[in-house]
Structure formats: structure tokens, C-alpha cells
Amino acid sequence: MPTPFETPPNEQPSTYVVQDRSNQQELERLQIQDQLVTTAMGGVLPEQADPEKFRRILDIGCGPGGWLIETARTYPGISTLVGVDASQSIITAARTKAQAQGLAARVEFHVQDALRMLEFPTSYFDLVNLRFGQSWIRTWDWPRMLSEMQRVCRPGGIVRIVEGELAAENNSPALTRFCQHMVEAFFQAGHLFSQESASVANHLPDLLSRYGCLHVQSHKYSPEFRAGTSAAEAYREDIRFLVYTLRPFLQKRGCLPADYETLSQQVLADLKEPTFQIHGHLFIVWGQAPERG
């Protein structure tokens, strides 16, 4: 039985910022983050004019399946929704949730390392989605990832990517410092194109166009969370888990400050202040898969 940080045979070492694929705290955090983000963006596919026209959807690095399950619930006309993730325990949680909601006939989840290949036929999906991939995709992985996304998408289908910034404008100096360490570690690990919080989001429109997508469009959402709201409470919960789950990554990248425990406590205290507020940005970039030559 491998220890949590050992890579089982035939499995590539994880590039995800939380290396331990069975980390339960990360599983819980992802469920909180999913609902927070989907609500902040006004739904699962807010920018698509007619989501009912999609028949088959793929979600890459789907986490515990919240986005895909909500998509199935919102659009009953979508017949097949498939999620892939590298973590067996995350996929098990996603399957359990789909079953509990009576959606298992339409929603399926598979363990796959999407950095190797997407194990689906060419032109199979109408929409291929990827949310928060910068947490495991390095800058040099994007060309192959975009080419695989387009391969499994039918010509004219949608390749869709959602990213956030890593450090949002807020009124807690401790949170700002924590986020700066995070940006530095992401950059050191090759996940950012430059040491800037929205570096991946800013590159996405150009990346999609450069690697073959047609009619690339983008949209920015700018949610604000204020103390006393359920969104601010959910955000605090997210950060409460994140300061633990991200610690080994910050340490590995040499970005763990000596006062990390004190800093984390200060962040959580600030997020409880009645004056706390944060104003972030979320970016959707999408384009059409081209005809194959």
C-alpha cells in the first residue's frame, strides 16, 4: 500500500499543487470552492446562448463533480456528461454524489491523467470544459492540452476554459501576503507565464487562437464578497482548508515564510472581521474546435 506521497506503479507523479491525491481536506475545499464560484458566475454555463443544444459534455480535472452534476440538473436535455480526474478518491466522491442525486445514468466519472491523453474518441463531445487547470497544468503543457481538447471535441463544438486570479484585491494585508507566496510558488513550479496573479487567464485568448480554436471569445466576472454574507463565509472556509493543503507545495517551492503559522492565523482572523471584503476576477475563454484537415 503506497503512502500518500508515494506514486503507485504506472501513475505519473502529480503536478497538482496538492500532491497527495487522497487528501480529504482538499476534497472538502473543492466542494466549497465549486459552489462559491458557480454562484458567483451566475450559473454553470452563463455565457453560452443555448446550453440545451449540447448532447455530450466533457469536464477535465472535474474534482468532486459539482460543476458537471449541476450542469446535468440545470439542463436535463444534455444526455451524456463525463468527468475525468487524476484522483481516485475524488472520482469516488463524485460518483457517490451523482448516484445520490439520481443522475448516474447521465453523469459518469473516470480516473484519467489528462496530461497523458484524453481517452475518448475523436470528435466525441459537443463541449469540452476545463476549470482551474492552472493548478496542475504547467505553461509547457498547454499546447498539448489544447490540442487534445480540440481532438475530442466535434468540429464547431466548444472548447471552454475558466480561470481565476490567484491574488484578489482585498483589505487584509495578511491575506495579500499569503496570496503573494502562492503566486510565487505557482510561478516557481511553472504554472504561471509570469509572476502575476492572472497570468494564465491573460494568456488564454491568445493560446486558444494560436493553437487552433476559432472565434475565440472571453468574458470576465468580478464578484465581490463582503463580511456577513454566505459567500464571504464560504470563502473563509475555502481559505481555512487552503492554508493547510497548500503548505507542502509552498515548502517544496521554497516559498513558505518562517512565520507561516502566525500568518495563517492572521488571515483567518482578518476574514472574520466585520469590515472584510474581497473583489476578485474570474475569466471564461471559449472558442470553436476547427474542422479536421
Nearest approach, Cβ of 259 to ligand SAM (angstroms)?
26
The reply on whether position 163 binds ligand SAM by CB under 6 A is no
The reply on whether position 62 binds ligand SAM by CB under 6 A is yes
Q: How many CB atoms lie within 10 A of CB 182?
A: 20
Nearest approach, Cβ of 263 to ligand SAM (angstroms)?
22
Q: Which stretch binds ligand SAM (CB under 6 A): 3-11, 129-137, 239-247, 279-287?
A: 129-137
Site string for ligand SAM, 234-273 (x = CB under 6 A): ----------------------------------------
Residues 6+ apart with CB under 8 A from 81: 56, 57, 59, 68, 71, 72, 106, 107, 108
The reply on whether position 199 binds ligand SAM by CB under 6 A is no
Rounded to the nearest 5°, which phi and psi values hold at 128?
-120, 120
Classify residue 253 by its DSSP letter: T
Q: Which stretch binds ligand SAM (CB under 6 A): 92-100, 127-135, 234-242, 253-261?
A: 127-135
In which region does residue 63 sit, left (phi positive, over 0), alpha (psi from -120 to 50) or beta (all else)?
A: left
The reply on whether position 36 binds ligand SAM by CB under 6 A is no
Site string for ligand SAM, 210-229 (x = CB under 6 A): --------------------
Cα separation, 146 vs 143, whole angstroms:
5
Cα separation, 43 vs 59, whole angstroms:
15
Cα separation, 73 vs 64, whole angstroms:
15
**Contact residues: ligand SAM, CB under 6 A:** 14-16, 30, 34, 61-63, 66-67, 84-87, 90, 113-115, 131-132, 135-136
